[in-house]
């Protein structure tokens, strides 16, 4: 993720550009998304808000933001849905997701430039990829649980 303040500013501009009013809940949600800077569940985003706002509003705003292309929706295959501000620098990242608390954390590595060139070798263009890791995070691990 690039600069979170830049991502926040661009999201607010895009909201105005789409003719949407920048209401307090919308501003809080965008600020929380920028601060979290990870794919976060609707509940995590709700918990990170600066002001009070009911969970239904949070969910509705996130769906709206997704439709407007301000946020990416991540489906990590664990049944959860997570949202993240679109990176204005166009970068992508990979995440490890805890199976118990569902927290997602960025992994600073991308193993796939070679894989993408393999795919390109088959004549494909505009190749993208997704790759997620799952595990039990240090906070959720029972003492004595093996690696
Ligand atoms: Zn955990
Ligand atoms: Zn990658």
pLDDT in the model for residue 6: 86
Phi, psi of 123 (to 5 degrees): 95, 10
Spacing, Cα 111 to ligand 1 middle (Å): 24
CATH classification code of 4-135: 1.10.10.10
| Token pair for 83 | 């949202």
135 Cα to the center of ligand 1, angstroms: 8
The ligand with the least distance to the CA atom of 136 is: 1
Which residues fall inside 5 Å of ion ligand 2, going by CB? Answer: 110, 112
Pick the more confident residue, 75 or 90: 75
d(CA 52, CA 63) in angstroms, rounded, equals 19
Can you give the pTM of this predicted structure?
A: 0.76
pLDDT digits over 50-63, tens only? 888 899 999 999 99
Contact (CB, 8 A) for 82 and 37: no
Q: How far apart are the CA of 142 and the centre of ligand 1, in A?
A: 11
């Amino acid at each position: 993720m690039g600069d979170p303040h830049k991502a926040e500013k661009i999201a607010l501009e895009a909201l105005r550009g789409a003719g949407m009013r920048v209401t307090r809940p919308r501003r809080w949600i965008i600020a929380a998304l920028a601060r979290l800077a990870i794919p976060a569940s609707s509940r995590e985003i709700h918990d990170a808000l600066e002001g009070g706002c009911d969970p239904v509003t949070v969910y509705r705003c996130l769906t709206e933001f997704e439709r407007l292309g301000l946020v990416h929706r991540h489906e990590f295959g664990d049944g959860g849905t997570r949202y993240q501000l679109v990176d204005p620098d166009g970068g992508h990242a990979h995440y490890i997701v805890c199976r118990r608390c569902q927290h997602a954390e960025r992994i600073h590595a991308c193993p796939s430039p070679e894989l993408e060139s393999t795919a390109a070798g088959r004549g494909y263009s505009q190749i993208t990829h997704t790759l997620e890791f799952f595990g039990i995070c240090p906070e959720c691990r029972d003492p004595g649980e093996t690696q």
